[in-house]
Structure 1
């Protein structure tokens, strides 16, 4: 992102933090490879199909993608609709697929090839009497937990804690009034939040925005209202491995025993020890890092090298053994295009992943 303001105090961006740490340890070039942040951005931009020069894009902050003339003609003359065989979609059949043979081939029990209702692991249908279904939407005024410490000043927070929307009916049943502190709990954990009683949510459901910082009290409850205390880690399916955080059941009650105000956003007390000079040269880190990197890269097969160099740049790399063959076939559908791999390179990476997948020793 383009810089909006000058860095505040001693704040640094992630790249600069790790560059300085690498320099301190004598391995700066191994981390940066002689590149700046702008070098990396330009290289990534040049791999796209945009014709707008990078400098113009960076100055304006956006690139307008024009609809291809061929597409205009399809829409204008109806060819796109009357002769779809000439204009296939990006599916294996080229058509809109109500039944996906590719997903069927994966044979994942909880991800059928046709849209189908599957009972969630937790929902009102299997909840105990008095429990509520907890949904955890994104906040509209922050990105996950970023700037949550600033939100304590906003009206939607209750007594310095994340607010939770509760229906009028549920509030009446449990003796909860607007502005009360409430406790949500299940077998995984507990949290304290602030009640906002409203007629804009259905009975049996409460809404607690995600992203609050955690501060535990002596009972192990989050005194700040962090939804992660009670959500489940069950994946939405064995293929996608996506989060199913909105499928969560919890007990709700008024909280009368909060031990303190929310202290999640109080700065920590740091006792600074005397700075000791590190003899970096004596550690010979640069030479050792170069030997390790060279030995590691030389032993990699082509697909393995492509995977770690090209396919793991957006997120922390997952090991091949973390997923099954079927799961990797699903993951690579979006991973390969982002990495800009050719058909030959895709086959090499997929071969490496299949050789080392979680079920490599089980399935042929």
Structure 2
């Protein structure tokens, strides 16, 4: 994204923040690679599927190749459709794969090699009496949890708590009225929300926007309406390990024992100190000295390539997040986009295998 305004006050962009942190830890050169932010953007774009040169892209935005048959339409991978042999895709066969022999070789029970519907581990199809499915859509007035403490959040809260949208018939059955505090609970946890009754909500389904901050009351319930109290950490599949946020069942009822107003967005109490503080004697200072402390941090070539070329599009996962078998599947599409040679790919896989989940 292009810069819109000059930085306000002492605010810094993410790259500058992490560069300064890297300097504190003695890895500034390794982190920046001697590149400015624009040089990193240029490098990333030149290793992407973009069809323009970087300067044209930066001026005009992204364009895709056009097909002769549809001059007024833009089609991704149009060169592949025009000549699949000359312009293969980044798949083992070079083609669009409906069946993946690579995934089949992993023999993962919950991830078949062909697209197939599998019953979720929690859904209305296996709900118990009184349970509803909990969906956690993205809020329109904030970015995940950012801005949850801002004034605009009042549009989607009841007395400071995150709203829960409920079908009118489901609410009537449980004696819940618009504006009531509702207790939503399952075996994982409990959260308190403000009821918003709507005829537009599907029966048997409630909606709690993700991103509310956490504040536990004396009973261990979130007094702010955080959906994270209810959702499961079970992954979508053994291959993707992705979140399964909308695969969630819970009960709800009118809450009759609210302990206090929501305190999640109240700033912490600041106790002024009359004594001078030596930061280097604190845990943070000890950690900085231990990690940075004049010692040059070294990386293997494979680690350098992994963090410098393979993980530019998204936040880098830790190598131990996946087994080497999973990494072999992930890197099938990662390596071509990173533009790595066969020799470099081997180095990255050696680094991943050494540090992967056993």
Q: Return the TM-score normalized by structure 2.
A: 0.80
How many residues matched?
Answer: 345
Matches within 5 A, 1:194-205: 194-205=194-205
Root mean square deviation of aligned Cα: 3.7
Structure 1 residues 95 and 151: CA distance shift in structure 2, 3 A: farther
Tell me: CA distance 1:356–1:161, structure 2 relative to 1, closer, same or farther (3 Å).
closer
2:334 is aligned to 335
SS in 2 for 1:211: coil
Moved more, 82-91 or 200-209: 82-91
Mapped to 1, the partners of 2:65 and 2:272 lie a distance apart of 58
1:99–1:114 CA contact under 8 A, matched in 2: yes
Change beyond 3 A, Cα 1:53–1:24: closer
Offset of residue 118 of structure 1? 1.9
Give the gaps of 5 or more residues in structure 1.
Answer: 360-364
- Which residue number in structure 2 is paired with residue 103 of structure 1? 103
Identify if the C-alpha distance between structure 1 residues 277 and 254 changes in structure 2 by more than 3 Å, giving closer, same or farther. closer
Structure 1 residue 3 corresponds to structure 2 residue 3: yes
Query: 2:150 aligns to what SS in structure 1?
Result: helix
Partner Cα separation in structure 2 for residue 180 and residue 163 of structure 1: 10
1:114-133 map, 5 Å: 114-133=114-133
In structure 2, the partner of 1:211 is 211
1:156 aligned partner: 156
- How many Å apart are 1:132 and its aligned residue? 0.9
Contact 2:232 2:248 in 1 (8 A): yes
- Stretch of structure 1 that moved more, 256-265 or 211-220: 256-265
Residue in 1 that maps onto 2:63: 65
Counterpart Cα distance in 1 of 2:94 and 2:180: 56
Larger displacement relative to structure 2 (131-140 or 120-129): 120-129
For residues 31 and 275 of structure 1, the distance between their equivalents in structure 2, rounded to whole angstroms, comes to 33
Contact 1:308/1:317 (8 A) holds in 2: no
In structure 1, distance between residues paired with 2:291 and 2:264: 43
1:352–1:316: structure 2 CA closer, same or farther, 3 Å change rule?
closer
Are residue 344 (structure 1) and residue 340 (structure 2) matched?
Answer: no
Write the distance in 2 (CA, Å) between the matches of 1:166 and 1:112.
35
- Asked whether the equivalents of residues 80 and 88 of structure 2 are also in contact (C-alpha less than 8 Å), the reply is no
Structure 1 length as normaliser, TM-score?
0.79
